[in-house]
Amino acid sequence: MKNLPYEVKLTYAIFFCILILIILFIAFVVIIYNRKQLLYLKEQQLKEAEHQNQLLQKELEKQKSIEQERERISHDMHDDLGAGISALKLQAEFLKQKAEDDDLQNDIDELLKTSAEMNLSMREMLWSLNSGNDTLGGFIDYAVHYADNFLKKTKIELWSESEDILSDTPISTELRRNMFLCLKEALNNAYKHSQSSHLKLSFVQKNKEFTMKISDNGIGINEENAEGNGLRNMKRRMQEQNGECYISSEGLGTEILFRVLL
C-alpha cells in the first residue's frame, strides 16, 4: 500500500469515502422508512381503536335502550296487569261471601287459586325483567326467598348456605332466568317425588365458576323418572348457557348440581 502511487491511493480513499456515504445513506433511508412504517402502524391502531370504541358505544347505547324497554314493560305489567289481578281477586272474594251454593264456592276458590298463581307468575316475570337484579347476589336472594315460600306449604324443611359469594358479580338476564327455572323444576320434583323431610340449597363461587346445588334426604330417583322431561329440560337449559347439570341419586336422597362460568 505504501508503494502505490499517490493517484491510486487517492482513488482508494475516494472510493472508501463514497462507499461509507452510500452505507450511511442506505441506513438513513432504512431508518426513515421504519419510522414511517411505525407511524403508519400507530395511525392504523388508533383508527382501529377509534372504530372499536364507536362499536362499543353503539353496543352500550343498544343495551341501555333494551334495559329502558325492559323497565317500561316491567312498570306497565306491574301497574296494569297487577291491578287487574288484584281487582279480579277482590271481586271473587266478594262473590264468595254472597254465594250460598257449595259448588259455586268451590268454583270461586279455584278462581282465587288461579289468580294467586297468576300473581306469582307475574312477580317472577317482573323480577326477570328488572335489570337491577342482574347480579349474583340478587339471584341468590331471590332463589332462597322463592324456595322458602314454596316449601313453606310442605313438610320439607329448607336449609341454605353460601360460600365465597361476591354479591356484585354481574350475570346475564338469560343466565339468571334459566338458573331460576332449573331451581323451580328441582324444587317441584323434590316436592312431588322425593318424600324428603329436608332440602339443602347451596351456592358456591370460585373465581368465575358458580355452582348451585340442591340436595334432599328423600327416596332418590327411580329408573322410570331418571330421564323425565323435567330433568332433560334442566340439562338442556344448562347446555344452552355453556354450563353443566349433574344428577346423582345413589343411596339416600338426590343431589342436583348446576355449574356455569360467569
Segment 6-23, tens digit of pLDDT = 677 778 778 888 888 888
Residues 196, 253 contacting (CB under 8 angstroms) = yes
Q: What is the pLDDT of residue 225?
A: 57
Whether the Cβ atoms of residue 182 and residue 237 lie closer than 8 Å to each other: yes
Model-level pTM? 0.62
- Read off the pLDDT of residues 106-149 as tens digits, 9 standing for 90 and up: 887 887 787 777 777 777 777 777 777 788 999 999 999 999 98
What is the rounded distance in angstroms from the CA atom of residue 59 to the CA atom of residue 50? 14
Q: What is the pLDDT of residue 124?
A: 77
Q: Please state the rounded mean pLDDT for residues 75-85.
A: 65
Residues in the chain: 262
**Span 232-254, average pLDDT:** 88
In the predicted structure, residue 76 carries a pLDDT above the cut 70: no
Give the model's pLDDT for residue 116.
Answer: 78
For residue 197, pLDDT over 60 is answered with yes
Lowest mean pLDDT of 50-54, 75-79, 243-247, name the range: 75-79
Answer whether 216's CB lies under 8 Å from 198's CB: yes
Vertex 141 angle, CA 140 and 147, to 5°: 85
Amino acid present at 179: M
Residues 6+ apart with CB under 8 A from 153: none
Residue type for position 256: I
- According to the model, what pLDDT value does residue 51 have? 86
What pLDDT score does 215 carry?
93
